[in-house]
Amino acid sequence: MCMTLAGKHVAILGAGRSGRAAAMLALREGAEVSIWDTAGEEAFAGMPEGVALHPHANEETGRGVHCDLLVVSPGIDTYGPYVAAFATHAGEVIGEVELASRYYKGKIVGITGTNGKTTTTGIVGRILEHASLGGTPCGNFGTPFAEVVLQSHPPAAVALELSSFQLETIRTLRPDVAVWLNFAPDHMDRYPTVQAYREAKLRIFQNLKPDDVAVIPFGGELPAPTNKPITFSTIDPAADWFSDGVLIFHRGEVCADLNRDSFLRGLHNAENAMAAMAACDALGVPIDVMREALHGYNPPPHRCEFIRTLDGVEYLNDSKATNLHALESALRSQVRPVVLIAGGKDKGLDYSPVLPLLGKKALACVTFGQIARPLAELFAQAVQSEAVSILADAVNVARSLAPQGSTILLSPGTSSFDQFSGYEQRGDAFRDLVHQLN
């Protein structure tokens, strides 16, 4: 759905990459554009010419802004007082993804879920690329969607990762295929209830028509959002797509062997692969093209990433595990005894549900960061647990506890913002520490 912005004032909150992309798109469409950020002038370096820059923005300045369209970056709380102030005199409030969708004419595979979004988005993008459809990964992973739209020749299809934060600000976005991977409590530092987080995720389906395609887990609590749900499962072979963790079956026929065709391992990655293949199948991509795309595929860094084997002990980097469900998935997929490294920011999550699985899979746990001590006290109900302050100490203690034939697994189970700028920096630090061991 195109919209006319010529001569209108578009105010953008957030001077990061998505805000800049939104500004460039709005400029292209003839709008008068301003960008507002709480940071100082240094945050606006390299901003497109013609954009009015407003550093040190606050609620008071926001209440004085009049605009036809307010575009909110996903890192800013949509329902907080800062956005509310800027929305006082705004005609419409949307996000960068919604803005971009109004000017994109190709096919959209929209992907959400608490865990596995980035891996699934990467697989979808790779398959669509092999099918000569482009398939650029964008949104919450990869390139801002607006940057893709600004290309001189935008791809025929995109793999669009959608976080709950981005889905909060959609209005008309309608994926050609909507993928729901899973759901588990997360971001309780932003949402007042688990249900509020779930409702934000469910917005991926809000604009679908009855005949649109939705890819969903088989037998879950999610009601079929359309007349054409496509299901996947690692539990029930009755699903449209089923995997035992190695072979992938489509309606009973083997269509891929993950051990032979890819570097994807574990049940959680089998689910990601099935969801991606189901989405691409709905767009008409042949099975042999999908299998070719999977060949040699490596999951993104920080997602059960194999680092090295030292003294018979494997080291895995799963820094992307920023919530309990991701931690559980990583533990469940392990076949060797585990020494778990977990911890980071206290997000107010309840970790007690992981205790039975911890007792089955782990030899010991080492916790670090802001949540280290209470997490170690809880985990001690299931296995030997020790609390340390920083990641470097956690690696050394874990090494002392890990016998030959075991796995040291960094799967923090929470975000990294107590000590790191993001899960990537945390995972990179872990990788460096492991390579320094001798």
Write down the pTM of the prediction: 0.79
pLDDT at 1: 57
Per-residue pLDDT tens listing for the chain (438 residues): 566 899 999 999 999 999 999 999 999 999 999 999 999 999 998 888 999 999 999 999 999 999 999 999 988 989 899 999 999 999 999 999 999 999 999 999 999 998 889 899 999 999 999 999 999 999 998 799 999 999 999 999 999 999 999 999 999 999 999 999 998 766 656 777 888 889 999 999 999 999 899 999 998 778 788 888 999 999 999 999 999 888 999 988 999 998 888 878 778 889 999 999 999 999 999 999 999 999 988 777 888 888 888 999 989 999 999 988 889 988 987 878 999 999 999 988 899 999 999 999 999 999 999 999 999 999 999 999 999 999 999 999 999 999 999 999 999 999 999 999 999 999 999 999 999 999
pLDDT at 260: 85
Question: What type of residue sits at position 382?
Answer: A
pLDDT at 432: 98
pLDDT at 185: 61
Residue whose C-alpha is closest to residue 141's, from 344, 278, 302:
302
pLDDT at 58: 97
pLDDT at 186: 64
pLDDT at 115: 82
| Residues 376, 370 contacting (CB under 8 angstroms) | no
pLDDT at 142: 78
